[in-house]
Amino acid sequence: MKPYLIALDLDGTLLKEDKTISPFTKDVIRRAIDAGHFIVIATGRPYRASRMYYEELGLTTPIINFNGAFVHHPRQPSWGVRHSPLPLAVVKDIVELGETYRIKNILAEVMDDVYFHEHDDILLDIVRLGNPTIEIGDLRRSLGKDPTSVLVYTDSDHIEHIQSHLSNVYANVLHHRRWNEPWHVIEIIRHGVHKAVGLKQVADCFGIPRERVIAFGDEDNDLEMIAWAGLGVAMGNAIEPLKTVADDVTKSNEEDGIGLYLQDILGLQPSSRSERPGTDNTSLL
């Protein structure tokens, strides 16, 4: 079998609800690597918050972070960095929205450095994973570089108005998406940047054609990647719009959806380590 490039989203896809990778799926992924296939993580998380899973799987491939805005190779610095940040001037304009809309806070991330407009214990708890460098102060003065990503924290009454304003004024400059409840957060990256862009960069690096790219996801930030991949697979717990564009649907992240699907489609023989608790291994194929 010719090698496949297999892209894995993290939250809700590779990771169970307790943010761990099941032993079964981990074993299948390692056997896929041993069989010559390439595994790449494609996540909205920054590198500092996904590094532990990269290392846990023993990956030796590039990693796609910030939904494609930052792609690099942790083990090969010579591979280079593909960084697609937002224009700094636009970010400073967004800060001014706080005077019109009820924006609780804004934070900007420059790869793994985090800048807060104001102190915020709730958001600090979210971004502390990986021990980033954190600076707090007016972004119009403290932020001196084009940011990789911006988060706008508001309330339920204003979030749709802010999104509408961003779409009307900055349609050709930035792309935004809303976090799931209970978070009233708008995540902003550069226009035209998404996971499919990063995945194509990695596929080109390895010389793997689109038809031999498999991608797994569960949320709206996976839409472009699932649609672009030769085989886009939605998790059983995925949102309905993703299932609609996907080529196939597997079991949920709690049911080893990735492990079961890859073992089957790649023709990987079950190992003694890959038996799922309470499951007859012969029924996995």
Q: Is residue 280 part of a domain?
A: no
- CATH number, residue 49: 3.40.50.1000
Same domain, 181 and 198: no
pLDDT at 284: 37
Taking 50 as the pLDDT cut, the residues of the chain under it are 280-285
Same domain, 99 and 26: no
Give catalytic status of residue 9 as yes or no.
yes
pLDDT at 24: 97
Report which DSSP code applies to 233.
Answer: E
Q: Is residue 215 part of a domain?
A: yes
pLDDT at 188: 93
pLDDT at 80: 92
DSSP sequence for 78-130: GG-EEE-PPPHHHHHHHHHGGGTS---EEEEEETTEEEESS--HHHHHHH-TT
- CATH number, residue 172: 3.30.1240.10
Single-letter residue type at 246: A
Per the CB < 8 A criterion, the answer to whether 251 and 236 are in contact is yes
Other C-beta atoms within 10 Å of 262: how many? 26
pLDDT at 275: 60
Domain count, the chain: 2
pLDDT at 130: 77
Same domain, 174 and 222: no
pLDDT at 171: 87
> Tokens 């608790």 appear where?
277
Take residue 258 and report the two structure tokens written for it.
């990735």
Q: Which of 9, 27, 112, 218 is catalytic?
A: 9
Q: Is residue 275 part of a domain?
A: no
Q: Is residue 105 part of a domain?
A: yes
Which helix (H) or strand (E) covers residue 231, if one does? strand 231-234
Other C-beta atoms within 10 Å of 94: how many? 25
- Cα 57 vs. chain centroid, distance in angstroms? 16
Same domain, 160 and 107: yes
Can you give the residue range of the structural domain that contains 135? Answer: 88-190
Q: Is residue 279 part of a domain?
A: no
DSSP sequence for 142-170: H--S--SEEEEE--TTTHHHHHHHHHHHS
- Among 173, 190, 207, residue at a domain's last position: 190
pLDDT at 194: 95
pLDDT at 184: 85
Same domain, 205 and 76: yes
Other C-beta atoms within 10 Å of 245: how many? 14
pLDDT at 269: 81
